[in-house]
Amino acid sequence: MIYLELFWSFFQIGLFSIGGGYAAMPLIQHQVTEVHSWINMTQFADIVTIAEMTPGPVAINSATFVGTLVAGLPGAIAATLGCVTPSCAIVMTLAYFYYRFREMNFVQGLLSGGRPAVIAMIASAGISLFFTAVCGNSSLSDSQSGINARAVVIFIGAFLILRKWKISPIWAMLGSGAVGLVLFSLP
């Protein structure tokens, strides 16, 4: 049954995605594009883009959008519940233990040791999305001829504008979308 598959897939993602929504992106990508083949990488990149622009946590928004795409409103509910259920249980359990044992050096060391893994997962998701945008697939292919120059120009422009003028990322996304609309409308 598709609803149970959606719930179970996003339950696993919610259970094993330590570090938040961006750290969950490689797990979501693996489940929805490789394990179940519900969507392709281009659709996944579109869903991530929409999930980032929509208010709320990225992983939960992604679960909702994938669930809607796969099985409509009931699918969205199943995927979203699957994504949040483990987080709620884990947070309540950890909050209890953290408040009880927060002064221990072991607890502080455990929290510090998890940071590099979270950074690596976020970097993995970003690199995969970058390659999907500029190459059309999630890895650097042998032939460089498939690089989308328009996407690279938009990326470099947005990056430089964000660094130089430190504008809000929301304005950078809206501007990139407008430039993309113009550039990709041209022959």
Question: In this predicted model, what pLDDT tens digit does every residue of 62-72 receive, in sequence order?
Answer: 999 999 999 99
Burial label for 60, CB within 10 Å (0-12, 13-18, 19+), is buried
Residue 187 and residue 48: Cα distance in Å, rounded?
26
At residue 163, the pLDDT reads 94
pLDDT band at 144; cut points 50, 70, 90: low
**pLDDT surpasses 70 at 138:** no
At residue 145, the pLDDT reads 59
At residue 141, the pLDDT reads 56
At residue 103, the pLDDT reads 81
Contact present, 91 and 21 (Cβ < 8 Å): no
At residue 24, the pLDDT reads 86
At residue 63, the pLDDT reads 94
Q: What is the mean pLDDT of residues 46-55?
A: 89
Q: What is the mean pLDDT of the chain?
A: 88
